A and B are shown apart, each in its own frame.
Chain A
Amino acid sequence: MSKHHPIEEQDPRFKIANREAIIGVILAIINFIWWYGFAYGLGSKPVEEYTYVFGLPAWFFYSAVVGFLVMLVLVIVVVKTVFVDVSLEDEEEKGDMR
């Protein structure tokens, strides 16, 4: 008898869990591209050529402020529409309780 517990891939909840984990990775990639693109795309210009939004340099405003808000909206939309409620309890335990 081994103490090693392989993951039982047939559990249908794992399909949902795997999809949601991939969504997390995709969101992080989008977040990184947005953050990097605006910060270094607009921020590498000489300071004299900077434009300003609400007093902040445009690179910072779009990268850090708008970037954060965009990610927040994406996260809310994804969680509300794609994420699924599943029971986290162990199957057998659940059976016992009924």
Chain B
Amino acid sequence: MIEPVFLSLVLFLILIFIVGFWSAGKLRKKSRFLQEYFLGSREIGGFILAMTMVATYGSSSSFLSGAGAAYNEGLGWALLAMTQVATGYFVLMVLGKKFAIMARKYDAVTLVDFLRLRYGSKAITLISAFSIVVFIFAAVTAQWIGGAHLIASITDLNYTSALTIFAVVVIIYVIIGGFRAVVLTDSIQGVIMVGGTLVILIGTIIAGGGVTQIMGDLTAENPNLVTPYGADGSLTAAYVSSFWILVGVGVVALPQVAVRAMSYRNSQAMHRGIIVGTAVVGFIMLGIHLVGVFARPVLPGVEEVDQVMPLIAMEVLPAWLAGVVLAAPLAAIMSTVDSLLLLISSALVKDVYLNYIRPDAEERKVKQMTYIVTSVLGVLAFAAALTPPDLLLELNLFAFGGLQSAFIWPLIFGLYWQHSNKYGALSAMIVGVGSYTLIHNVWPEPFGLHSVVLPVVLSFFAFLVANLLTLKRT
């Protein structure tokens, strides 16, 4: 089992390094370093846009833990996962052409750039950059831990050596290639994910004796597995529906997603991105989670549910094909880490260093800083992943909800409400993150909803009230 998996991993790494070096070639030719390195010079086409969007919101969490949760909870979890179909069209339609046009007008390279120029407030810029660094760093570390465990489990390397290989590959890759390399890898990964999901799904259905047979087996084991309410009936309609915010529409406010919404070439690319993105995200989400559900009668009694996907792939597919397919979750983790690393580095170099420390830095100096910051971040994340501090793991669970409650209204009102001002935006950020921190820690799942819902609502009203009170001042 080891050899074909190992071989396909090596082939995969070779392939993405070719992409990386090709992108590095582009990087040398482009005259505007920051625009190219952090945004691919806004030249991203429709298909790649769709794939990188899907890879960014899907990531490894769906492929490994999503399938695992579906294995435990049954069809209810697959229903929950389908809330993500909305991201396929919602993000690009709602941020839409306005965001793309404004970003070009402002010459913005990051989400923070956009907020800074829209509101003209130092406090907003620094709070935004700070929250991106903290939350995303935690997310990067958690992804690295996942990646290293995955490599360790399918190759027999120990955790430390797996982590080292993974870290070296990722750091070199991000440094040489930048955004363009990252989105191209996302596309390769997306294609592997679509193909892999389809193949595993078919294999699992055949191994389980057909869908009717599988549903019968599940009903016999625990009828709750075929209801929308989860294995022990605890997935309430209110709780599952609140995922419409956390992994559905709230995704517009994640900085790693928003930056992609300013990277596309033209409006045709955006149109194509919407259609392809919706198709791909829907198919992958449905497929992955059905595999998780269907795997239960085929492979009963899996304890480490994150391993369901690799185990079922090795069970139902010929060895060489399982190897190819298992490159997908690794690809997913890699591309997520790559884009997150790039995001932190953009927050530090573009949003803090260039704005407030050395606004007059020359191009050569900026380039140097970017490479240094990216490498240092990579090494720090590596060190953190070796012996992960508890605080970091806690922050990771917290990260996406935190970023959403911080950014959603400053971004949306900033785009669509002409009279929105910095007082509104700042209040929304403080109330959003503050109430999320509080609720997450002392009152999880208020009214049966996920803890992100209430802060998003509170942040909305904070924006409105503060903005209306200060309307005359601006």
Contact = CB atoms under 8 A, between A and B. Distances in A.
A44 B228 CA distance: 8
Interface string A80-98: 0001111111100100000
Contacts of B82: 35, 63-64, 67-68
A90 B228 contact: no
A6 B418 contact: yes
Contacts of B176: none
A11 to B, nearest CB: 7
A36 B97 contact: no
Nearest to A35: B82
Contact of B226 (A23, A39, A47): A47
Contacts of A2: 120
Contact of A21 (B75, B98, B211, B271): B98
A2 to B, nearest CB: 6
Interface of B is mostly: helix
Given A28-B248, A31-B85, A71-B85, A43 B93 contact: no
B278 A72 contact: yes
Interface residues of B, number: 61
Contact of B227 (A43, A64, A93): A43
A17 B98 contact: yes
Nearest to B89: A75
Interface string B374-395: 0000000000000000000000
Given A28-B90, A68-B82, A13 B101 contact: yes
A35 to B, nearest CB: 7
B268 A20 contact: no
Interface of A: 2-7, 9, 11, 13-14, 16-18, 20-21, 23-25, 27-28, 31-32, 35-36, 39-40, 43-44, 47, 50, 52, 54-57, 59-60, 63-65, 67-68, 71-72, 75-76, 79, 83-90, 93
Interface of B: 75, 78-79, 82-83, 85-86, 88-90, 92-98, 100-102, 104-106, 117-120, 210-215, 219, 223, 226-229, 237, 241, 244, 248-249, 266-268, 271, 274-275, 278-279, 282-283, 286, 415-416, 418, 421-422, 474
